[in-house]
Amino acid sequence: MALDEVVVEITSPSGGAPVTGEHKYRSMVTLYIENDDKSKTPAGWSTRVSDGASEDRPFEFQPGVGLIVGWSNGVLQMKEGERALLHVPASLGYGSRAMGNPAAASDKGASGFYIPANSNLVFDIEVLGKVVQQDL
């Protein structure tokens, strides 16, 4: 993987509208650390029960707002309804900063997630659609 490039691997295509930076979206996400051999290690953060979350709870995001650069770059290559693996190099992720609870990496009883410094990331993300504002 190039040091400055996000690779988007579409796993479930969709004919939906392209994701843009002008809208907020709902998504289901599982985060992995990508190992040197390209295998994935769960980082401890998911919005899916099937991947360890206590309940299915969509994550809301807007590309370019409060996200790592790699996430925004990746989702802007997706369409609503698609599921993809976003391969994010450390330089477009958290770089030299570790994130989360270090005990979560070694203690199965510890809660939370952990991302070691200089980790390449894989986000398994399904863009469910735009967030719809409810009329009050």
Chain segment 34-59, per-residue pLDDT in tens: 999 999 999 989 999 999 888 999 99
pLDDT of residue 107: 59
Buried b / exposed e along 13-27 (16+ C-beta atoms within 10 A): ebeeeebeeeeebbb
Q: Which residue stretches of the chain have pLDDT < 50?
A: 136
Q: Which residues pair with 126 in a beta bridge?
A: 28, 83
Is 5:113 a contact under the CB 8 Å cutoff?
A: no
Which regions of the chain does DSSP assign to beta strands (E)? Answer: 7-12, 25-34, 40-46, 59-61, 83-88, 99-100, 114-115, 120-130
Count of C-beta atoms within a 10 Å radius of residue 42: 13
Question: What's the confidence (pLDDT) of residue 23?
Answer: 96
pLDDT of residue 4: 85
So what's the pLDDT on residue 103?
75
